[in-house]
Structure 1
Amino acid sequence: MASKPSIPKGTRDFSPKEIAKRNYIFSVIRKHFELFGFQPIETPSFENLDTLLGKYGEEGDRLIFKILNSGDFLNKVDEELYKSKNSSTLTPRISEKALRYDLTVPFARYVVMHQNEISFPFKRYQIQPVWRADRPQKGRFREFYQCDADMVGSSSLLQEIELIQLYNSVFNDLKLKGSIVYINHRKILSGIAEVIGEKEKLIPFTVALDKLDKIGVDKVMTEMLAKGISQEAINKANPLFSLRGSNTEKLAVLKEFLKDSEEGSKGIEELEFVLQRTSDLEAASIQLNFQVTLARGLNYYTGVILEVTPPHGVKMGSIGGGGRYDHLTDIFGLKNVSGVGISFGLDRIYLVLEELNLFPADIAHNLDVLILNFGNKEALEAMKILGKLRGNGIRTDLYPDTVKVQKQMKYANQRQVPYIILLGEQELEANVFVVKDMKKGLQTTYPINEIDQFLATL
């Protein structure tokens, strides 16, 4: 007996109903991307491994899915290297490609390769799947979609404000009110590391700090100590771990803390500019909350960083995030091109809308009319009606088999079809067809050559 098939952990099949809900989210996000002037691009599902490695930090690099070289991939590995079992030296010899980890690094590569075709500042959006070798759990998958909007070629802080407005517009349209946009600045984090005397350990400091909400203060301190950050430095930073109050109050405390750091003070100045000009968002569906511990863990951010969480009461991780990156294209040879972007986490947004019952009631409605099949002669005549209705944009289908009407009606109910057309032997002789309104239970008869009368009711 054949074994039951399965799919890899962290991946999913999607039913027609689920696809309809996902497409609804896609359409809302795409609509607002285009309203804000972003242009679509696509990049390959896999990139050269050296394009991706080193861009996401040590932890991110471990989550990249590597692709084995085709053919005898061990042929280029000598016996000594093979026996060493050192993955860091072995991997480059057997893998030259990898599935993309996100859409931002491939976008930076795209900009460099197509710089002579692009009009700067360039605003692009991209909606494609990405892959991460992460531990699957609720809202975290190994294959998932990202919906990104980025702007490159300008360092204006007006772009950060526009991206926050974009979040607001999308979540308003999705009726997802009460989401929180946490905001911080990479220069503030650099300033903190400088003030506590650990500027050279900025990356391990921010990676540990970013886990504060997940593992708590004690475990964060333990991780910092393990990364070589001194107890004295941790004690200096400790008051910031529990910073409370309004955005203005928290920034006031931080101003005093960073008064001797030029970089940190610059970060506060830029953050205040963004906060002041987004405080009057009309019909805001989001809350903007400064959080000094927000780091996002990715090495390429240099300015404002953002992370979006769902409304209070919904147990879910971030549903979006992004920030400013000033040097991402440098590593591909294109200098002085600043960029800023955000991402919408489609899969988590889906789960939040489902939990809050925010999908439109008729989301699964994908067939307007079903014509019942009473035999070959009747079906051939029904095909004429079928073509006329489809030609007028009415989603119509003809049941393919001549089976009991009860079975065909059951199928119609399962598909939630609002109208049924009956064209049996009697109707054919009378040159008419009967339409049943499945919701009202009413039947109406129309001449076959007067289909427009039925179309007028739809």
Structure 2
Amino acid sequence: MKPSIPKGTRDFSPTEVAKRSYIFNTIRSAFELFGFQPIETPSFENSSTLMGKYGEEGDRLIFKILNSGDYLKDVRNDIIESTRSNINFYSFFDIFIHSIDNINNKSEYFDKVLERYFNIINSADKIQLFVLDYFKKNKTQFFEKIKEIESVEESRRIVEINKYRNDLFLLFFDEYLSEYKILNSNKTVSQISEKALRYDLTVPFARYVVQHQNDISFPFKRYQIQPVWRADRPQKGRFREFYQCDADVVGSKSLLQEVEFIQLYDAVFSKLGLAGTTIKINNRKILSGIAEVIGAKDKLIDFTVALDKLDKIGKDGVVTEMLSKGITQEAIEKVDPLFSFSGSNLENIRSLENLLQGSEEGLKGVEELRFVINAISDLGLETASLEVDVTLARGLNYYTGAIFEVAAPKGVKMGSIGGGGRYDDLTGIFGLKDVSGVGISFGLDRIYLVLEELGLLQSVELPKPKVLFLNFDASTDIIKLKAIQSLREKGVKCELYPDLATSNKQEKKQWKYATNRKIEFVVSKIENDIFTIKDMTNFEQSTLSINEIIEKVK
């Protein structure tokens, strides 16, 4: 069998792990610089924790975990009991088996029973048709078993017939389950799967806050860097297993948190050398207000989903989609200015203010947006830019205020590399009401691809020893190990080549290993506690004591 991994997953080489660790550490350092504390949650949660929190589409992308043990036994028994009368398996079996004792041509009689069965069944009933086809297909095996049963003692025949009937039904039912994929039904899934891999870090975090609310000091600033899983279609920048790097604050309604998150995005991308990112910002209240003033409040989702596609399908495409969703031409004309927003952030805010004069909620959103824009304008950003994007409509199922999305620098074809927003009642899904929060996420895998494309990870070095001890003389093994121990105690990374060289070819192999690993210093010989060491950057060779080596390489 050829080794492989599931689609949408990846192996990472030592070099790739080093580069990913560099990104992780940069993000982690920024999180802690801004006062966030780390937490971790299990890789899988109770299904009830996750299901129903991401909408119908999100639920379909959740990886379910089968219960351990013979998880099908009880389910199969339940289904057998509930469908036995409908399947008619037993009725056909009994009609035939109890009428064959005095019949010479059993095959002919079998066909007649099948014909009679077909005439009385509902031809639209797929279960009954499946029974019919099953017996036709397995006619030969059926007769062989009947012949075998007829050869046993008459007193045992009825026992053997009942045993065969039950065994045959289990085989039949397993084939029926497979044919009609019964195990995909929601009812059955809930019976055999009580756990699921986490879909994101947000819902587990909400569960964590509610479960540990008595141990948390609010406002609670947390960060979390862990993998998540989604049964999505793999493509560039989209995987079934990937890491999320989240930071959230719960227990505060202050808009200063939104300001700090924008600064946090800027700090991370600046530290990574990724200049030119665009932090897009909108507000859920503004979107609700627009839907209200155009008379489409009951079609908020349809309206915003169409508006969110403006960059992809253009104005005409958006208008066509809105019309198809039942939004009137008159309503669409009221939002025509949205299709051509092109001024500064403050100019766009003033335009929104004029548009939303008939909506109290919409004007509240404008006020919140203006506060954040003015604060960032006063504080400044190092390398990122902030842009009001009224078409931004992510997370409408849970965001209630600010909405963020980060775009890669112009010229890089990549989806969003970060996003987030404010949620006023996320913990409410677990019974803790009125705990406001706001958070952002970094898309590590996409950030990695962007940095690679722009050549910004070339300087990241693979972890390696600073000193390598070659193994040319077994009699000095303990001396080498003691020297290595002394170096490690001083914090110097070092390594002993494990295999003894017994030929020139093997000695060359060890030197080649040092070159390939780009190791800076190589110890090749030891005499009277004096070490011959070569500097591989300039090929200078010297003889030193262990203390002198420590001073040289520290």
Q: Please, what TM-score do these two structures have when normalized by structure 1?
A: 0.92
Residue 519 (structure 2) pairs with residue 417 (structure 1):
yes
Q: How far apart are 1:268 and its partner, in Å?
A: 0.5
Higher mean C-alpha displacement, 172-181 vs 337-346: 172-181
Which of 541, 544, 547 is equivalent to 1:451? 547
Question: Per the alignment, do residues 30 and 243 of structure 1 end up closer, same or farther by CA in structure 2, a change over 3 Å counting?
Answer: same
Please identify the structure whose Cα radius of gyration is greater.
2
Structure 2 residue 14 is matched with structure 1 residue 16: yes
Indicate the residue corresponding to 2:343 in structure 1: 245
Partners in 2 of 1:118 and 1:25 — Cα distance? 29
Asked if the contact 2:18–2:460 (Cα under 8 Å) also holds between the matched residues in 1, the reply is: no
1:39 maps to what in 2? 37
Identity of aligned residues (%): 63
The equivalences for 1:182-201 within 5 A come to: 182-201=280-299
Match of 1:352 in 2: 450
- Note the 1:244-283 alignment, pairs <5 A: 244-282=342-380
Trace 1:276-315 onto structure 2 (pairs within 5 A).
276-282=374-380, 284-315=382-413
Give the aligned partner of residue 141 of structure 1.
239
AA partner of residue 455 (structure 1): E
**C-alpha deviations, 1:35-73, integer Å up to 9, x for none?**
111111111111122222222233322222222333324
Residue 231 of structure 1: CA displacement? Answer: 4.4
**Larger helix percent:** 2
Give the aligned partner of residue 71 of structure 2: 72
Aligned mates of 2:197, 2:258 — CA distance in 1 = 29
Between the aligned partners of 1:90 and 1:220, the Cα distance in structure 2 is 40
Q: Which of 448, 464, 468 pairs up with 1:370? A: 468
Report the equivalent of 1:400: 498
Tell whether the 8 Å contact from 2:467 to 2:494 is kept in structure 1 after alignment. yes
C-alpha displacement at 1:11, in angstroms? 0.6
What CA deviation, in whole Å up to 9, does each residue of 1:343-368 have, x standing for no partner? 11111111111122222625224221
Give the counterpart letter for 2:203 in structure 1: V
Whether the aligned pair in 2 keeps the contact of 1:385 and 1:451 (CA below 8 Å) is no
* Residue type at the aligned position of 2:547: I
> Are residues 1:63 and 2:161 paired?
no
Task: Answer whether contact 2:62 2:229 (CA < 8 A) is retained.
Answer: yes
Give 2:478's match in structure 1, choosing from 377, 380, 383: 380
Greater alpha carbon shift after TM alignment, 296-305 vs 321-330? 296-305
8 A Cα contact 1:57 1:298, kept in partner: no
Q: Secondary structure at the match of 1:280?
A: helix
Cα deviation per residue 1:19-42 (whole Å; 9 max; x = unaligned)? 111111111111111111111111
Name the aligned partner's letter for residue 7 of structure 1: I
Q: Indicate the residue corresponding to 2:145 in structure 1.
A: none
The 1:454/1:131 distance shift into structure 2, 3 A limit, reads same
Verify: 1:440 aligned to 2:538, yes or no.
yes
My pick for the range that moved more, 398-407 or 261-270, is 398-407
Amino acid paired to 2:44: F
Q: Return 357-366 or 114-123, whichever deviates more.
A: 357-366
Change over 3 Å in CA distance of 1:238–1:289 after alignment to 2: same
Does 42-51 or 209-218 show the bigger shift? 209-218
Deviates most, 66-75 or 273-282: 66-75
Deviations 1:146-191 (A, max 9, x none): 1111000010001101111111111121111111100000001111
Distance 1:410 1:331, change over 3 A: same
**3-state DSSP class of the match of 1:184?**
strand
- The CA deviation at 1:263 is 0.5
Residue of structure 1 in register with 2:164 after alignment:
none
Q: Structure 1 stretches of 5 or more lacking a match?
A: none
**Superposition CA RMSD, Å:** 2.2
Deviation at 1:93, TM superposition (A): 3.4
- Cα 1:47–1:215 change in 2 (3 A) is farther
TM-fit CA distance, 1:294:
0.4
The 1-side partners of 2:188 and 2:274 are apart by 47
d(CA) in 2 for partners of 1:26, 1:110: 23
SS of match in other structure, 2:367: helix
CA distance in 2: counterparts of 1:222 and 1:131, whole angstroms: 35
CA distance in structure 2 between the aligned counterparts of 1:208 and 1:88, rounded to whole angstroms: 30
Q: Deviations over 1:373-422 (max 9, x none)?
A: 11321233211111111111111110111232211111112211111111
Q: Quick check: 1:329 aligned with 2:328?
A: no
Q: What secondary structure, in the 3-state scheme, does the structure 2 residue paired with 1:393 have?
A: coil
Q: Is the 8 A contact 1:161 1:274 kept in 2?
A: yes
What letter matches 1:29 in structure 2? I
Q: What SS class does the counterpart of residue 335 from structure 2 fall into?
A: helix
Separation of aligned partners in 2, 1:87 and 1:221: 38
Does 221-230 or 244-253 show the bigger shift? Answer: 221-230
Q: CA deviation at 1:215?
A: 4.2
2:286 alignment partner AA: I
Between 402-411 and 199-208, the greater mean CA deviation after superposition: 199-208
- The answer on whether the counterparts of 2:19 and 2:460 sit within 8 Å (CA) in structure 1 is no
Task: Give 1:105's aligned residue.
Answer: 203
The CA distance in 1 between the partners of 2:322 and 2:25, in whole Å, is: 43
> How far has the Cα of 1:315 moved from its partner?
1.2
Given the superposition, is the C-alpha separation of residues 268 and 385 from structure 1 closer, same or farther in structure 2, using an over 3 Å criterion? same
2:252 alignment partner AA: S
Structure 2 CA distance for partners of 1:175 and 1:46, relative to 1, 3 Å:
same
1:209 is displaced (CA, Å) by: 2.9
* TM superposition shift of 1:235: 4.0
Contact 1:36 1:166 in 2 (8 A): yes
Separation in structure 1 between the aligned mates of residue 67 and residue 331 of structure 2, nearest angstrom = 46
Give ranges in structure 2 of 5+ residues lacking alignment.
87-126, 128-176
Asked whether the 8 Å contact 1:365–1:417 carries over to 2, the reply is no
Deviations 1:313-363 (A, max 9, x none): 111111111000001111110011000000111111111111222226252
Query: Relative to 1, partners in 2 of residues 1:115 and 1:271: Cα closer, same or farther, differing over 3 Å?
Result: same
Alpha-carbon shift at residue 10 of structure 1 (Å): 1.0
| Paired residues of 1:126 and 1:147 also in contact (CA < 8 A) | yes
Contact 1:210 1:297 in 2 (8 A): no
